[in-house]
Amino acid sequence: MEENSTKKVILSGIQPSGILTIGHLAGALKNWVALQDSFSCLYMIANMHAITVRQNAADLRRRTLETAALFLAAGVDPEKSVLFIQSQVPEHAQLTWVLNTFAGYGELGKMTQFKDKSAKNAENINCGLFTYPVLMASDILLYQADAVPVGEDQKQHLELTRNLAQRFNYYYSDTFKIPEPYIPKIGSRIMSLQDPTSKMSKSDENQNSLIYLNDSNEEIINKIKRAVTDSNAEVRFDEANKPGVSNLMTLYHLATGISFEDIEKEFAGHGYGDFKLSVGKAVADWIAPLRERYNEIIKDKKRLESILIYGAEEAHKIARKTLDKVYKKVGFVRF
């Protein structure tokens, strides 16, 4: 990322808590790649966020590198964007401690994700889970991000980020940019293949519910063949009444570029068997080149590590400038 670039700064990240799915490709990675020419982009593997839920250490290390390799395979270019692992930039934790003193107990308690995750992890409701949104605010504010791509589930966290930035600026003069939500023009919400009323999630225990980005062609075709549809064998886009069929149409549209109207015409009078087979083959063809690139990248550990080391160094340079300002303003002694 150019130091004196006039481009606006955008930051986004994904937790390495499981193999990325086709939902990540459609909803995030496609947009990330498209943004690289018009924004100064920072993309991180959010492994500090991941440990709010208990992780196996070896698995987390492996998945962190796999996630980075999938970012690269999807088209994130380390010469255009800063790609880094969150925990390798200590300023994330350092700024979080300062911002914790500006975050109210009540406002953190209202966070819907904290309530949801607490319900799912009743045996491990830890303080990190509670202050997770403050770490997210630090991620964004460290890099003076102008914009943050957000889905519905993250709007509340971005609002907290804006509040903390404004609060700090009020007490200590302008320090942080106030980030805006970035709503991508392109991007699709991919639903579970087995429960099309729920978003596809890499944490889903039912492997038939999701398509991983490293699934084989055969696995992709078989999962789509088993996808839940409905009893009315009509290929029509209607998310309210035909969520399963609409989800498969979205996948077919993404894989082929064919409009929903033309998909309906193509499969008029055909049963779901023909439709699912066509969707499966199209999606498999779409994912295959990405999977091949991923397999090459993940085998070349030295190159992958060098990209991530360079990315962490670049992120550190930017983050350090912000942290130095913050430490000076709050009165920490600096030598």
Residue 276 has pLDDT above 60, yes or no: yes
Residue 221 has pLDDT above 70, yes or no: yes
Q: What pLDDT, in 10s, does the model give residues 116-138? A: 666 666 676 777 777 889 999 99
Q: 3-state SS string over the chain? A: CCCCCCCCEEEEEECCCCCCEHHHHHHHHHHHHHHCCCCEEEEEECHHHHCCCCCCHHHHHHHHHHHHHHHHHHCCCCCCCEEEEHHHCCHHHHHHHHHHCCCCHHHHHCCHHHHHHHHHCHHHCCHHHHHHHHHHHHHHHHCCCCEEECCHHHHHHHHHHHHHHHHHHHHHCCCCCCCEEECCCCCCCCECCCCCCCECCCCCCCHHHCCECCCCHHHHHHHHHCCCCCCCCCCCCCCCCCHHHHHHHHHHHHHHCCCHHHHHHHCCCCCHHHHHHHHHHHHHHHHHHHHHHHHHHHHCHHHHHHHHHHHHHHHHHHHHHHHHHHHHHHCCCCC
Catalytic residues: 117, 199, 202
Q: What pLDDT, in 10s, does the model give residues 320-331? A: 999 999 999 999
Q: What's the pLDDT score for residue 231?
A: 86
More confident residue, 202 or 314: 314
Q: Point out the least confidently predicted range of 84-93, 150-159, 230-239.
A: 150-159
Could you tell me the domains of the chain?
9-182+301-330 (3.40.50.620), 207-295 (1.10.240.10)
The pTM of the full predicted model, rounded to 2 decimals, is: 0.89
Q: What pLDDT, in 10s, does the model give residues 33-72? A: 999 999 999 999 999 999 888 889 999 999 999 999 999 9
